[in-house]
Amino acid sequence: MSAENMQYTCPFCDSQVIVGKPCPGCKKPTPKKRTKRSWEQSNAYDGLDLPDDDFDYDDFVAREFGQTPHRTIGIKWYWWVTAIAMLLAMALSLFVGG
């Protein structure tokens, strides 16, 4: 049996197809309109007068959060004492236990 006589059933349209030939029952799908991906920009938002170079960040922060500076975040004194005590205990255990 030659390869030209071998036929199979198309899994999409159930028509008989000769091996190596395109399926006559399946038509080439028409190209669909390409949908815009989420990261692509839209031309509809061009020219919306968004702030550019004239944006003053310091003025924005002052209007948004007030003039008083925020509270500084630091480590409390007793955590420093605890860390130093732990380091001294580990160093002492290396010298005494070693």
CA dihedral 73, 74, 76, 79 (to 10 degrees): 130
Walk along the chain (98 residues) and give the pLDDT tens digit of each residue. 565 578 888 888 888 888 888 887 786 655 667 777 777 777 776 766 666 677 788 888 888 888 776 677 788 999 999 999 999 999 999 988 75
pTM of the entire predicted model: 0.29
Q: Please state, in angstroms and rounded to a whole number, the distance separating the CA atoms of residues 25 and 22.
A: 9
Residue 28: per-residue pLDDT = 62
Q: What pLDDT score does 75 carry?
A: 87
